[in-house]
Amino acid sequence: MIYKVILAYDGSNYAGWQKQENALGIQEVIEKALTTIHKKETFITASGRTDAKVHALGQVFHFEADKKIGPDRYKMALNALLPEDIRILKVSMEADDFHARFSAKSKRYDYICTYEKENPFVYKYKEILNHTLNIEAMRKASEYLVGTHDFTSFSSSKIDPRKPRIKTITRIDIFEENQDIRFIYEGTGFLRYQVRMMTETLIMVGSNKIDIEEVKRILDKKDKSACRYNASPNGLYLVHVNY
């Protein structure tokens, strides 16, 4: 049986999604819980990795199981075994060809910034802003990033050189929510650090530190060294994966 799982997690206490030798990843915590349930080693495959301190409202993974257990029972059993900062939202049985990563059609990431720097409860979940941002300038600059482009300039140098850098962004919205500013990105997929690097570049535009056209110049260079901006991970959320 193939099971699809939608979950949410607070990434503050983890070294990212991926299982690691010298640090605790969210994947490892979940696999241990499933191994306890199945009484044998169980592995999971996610829609993609999130980095250390990055959060998720709608991450997806799948796993295989020999015996049929109802989705609701899986949800209850997993939530009983998992820590409170990892919550299973929904479990469903899928067709044999379902794959959490390869079946995904698009993803949505949100990035949240805030002017609320005196609030000690936001530091783990939002990037603190020290200057008022020009929202309209950031929106104009973001138009250069919408569409199908080579996003090498907005990617990590650690990415396998064989991995394609061409991605399609279908939506970028930027709007104010009380003392917060929310960036919404939807696309077919994103490179490592891409959303964070695009966000911080747009923040530089909104802070009048670079001009709007600089975003296009950085993009057109298709060079990892072209962009030196990278927003902090704690403001980033994987919101939804579309299949």
Summarize the confidence of residues 117-130 as an average pLDDT: 95
pLDDT at res. 122: 96
Residues in the annotated binding site: 109
Task: Return the half-sphere exposure (C-beta side, CA atoms, 13 A cut-off) of residue 221.
Answer: 14
Tell whether 144 is covered by a domain. Answer: yes
Instruction: Give me the domain span that covers residue 130.
Output: 106-242
Q: Which residues contact 184 (CB under 8 A, 6 or more apart)?
A: 108, 109, 110, 171, 172, 173, 174
d(CA 16, CA 53): 7
Amino acid at 40: K
In percent, how much of the chain has pLDDT > 70? 98
* Beta carbons within 10 angstroms of residue 90's beta carbon: 14
User: For residue 33, what pLDDT band results from cuts at 50, 70 and 90?
Assistant: very high
Tell whether 62 is covered by a domain. Answer: yes
Please give the tally of structural domains in the chain.
2
pLDDT at res. 113: 98
Catalytic choice (10, 51, 85, 150): 51
51 is catalytic: yes
pLDDT score of 162 more than 80: no
pLDDT at res. 73: 96
CATH of the domain at 41: 3.30.70.580
The predicted model scores a pTM of: 0.95
pLDDT score of 226 more than 90: yes
- Residue ending a domain, among 59, 94, 129, is 94
pLDDT at res. 187: 98
Residues in the annotated binding site for substrate: 109
pLDDT score of 238 more than 90: yes
pLDDT score of 159 more than 90: no
* Beta carbons within 10 angstroms of residue 32's beta carbon: 14
Residues 9 and 129 in one domain: no
- Residue ending a domain, among 74, 94, 114, is 94
Residues 55 and 149 in one domain: no
d(CA 25, CA 142): 32
